[in-house]
Amino acid sequence: MMKLSKKTDYGLIAMQHMASVTPSRPINTKEIAHQYNIPVELLAKVLQRLAKHGLVISQNGPKGGYLSRKAVTIADVISAIEGPIGITECMHEPDEQCQQQETCNIRTPLQFIQTSIVQLLESMTIEDMAVQNTLISIDAIKSHFVTEGATR
């Protein structure tokens, strides 16, 4: 089953919270943890990882905390916490040699799915979630597959 880890859930929750509060106000880890019932230590590690990847800015001091950068996508957060986005080993670890590479009959359909998922995650920003609670329409992607599939 494909699913995101709790760390990624917490990272997305924290990023969405930062995007929805007063701009340029540093958000304390404890503030987010208490509001969303997240273990403080785990959230601190998640936010440190997001800072390491440049998705948030860490400010030290008594009024310190974290600031979200603008235009961070869902894909950015997932990649920072989980690593490369991939639905199968051959797409997750492209350098790995698959034993079925020469005879694989599902590679092309899975590549379409992989590309669609990544495009969807790259098209939605944290700000989109905070401002609109946007539901993403996949009609454009579906029509792309129908068009692409017809030409193959």
Q: What is the pLDDT of residues 32-60, one digit of tens each?
A: 999 999 999 999 999 999 999 999 999 99
CATH number for the domain spanning 73: value is: 1.10.10.10
* Residue 1 located in a structural domain: no
Pick the residue with more confidence: 9 or 87? Answer: 9
Residues in the chain: 152
Q: Which residues pair with 59 in a beta bridge?
A: 65
Q: Does a structural domain hold residue 88?
A: yes
Domain ranges, residue 144: 6-151
Count of domains forming the chain? 1
In one letter, which amino acid is 87?
I
Question: pLDDT-based confidence at 145, cuts 50/70/90?
Answer: low
Tell me, yes or no, whether 146 lies in a domain: yes
Asked if residue 120 has pLDDT above 80, the reply is yes
Q: How confident is the model at residue 103 (pLDDT cuts 50, 70, 90)?
A: confident
pLDDT, mean of residues 142-147: 53
Residue 113 has pLDDT above 60, yes or no: yes
Report if residue 137 sits inside a domain: yes
- Check residue 10 and give its pLDDT: 97
Q: Higher-confidence residue: 152 or 98? A: 98
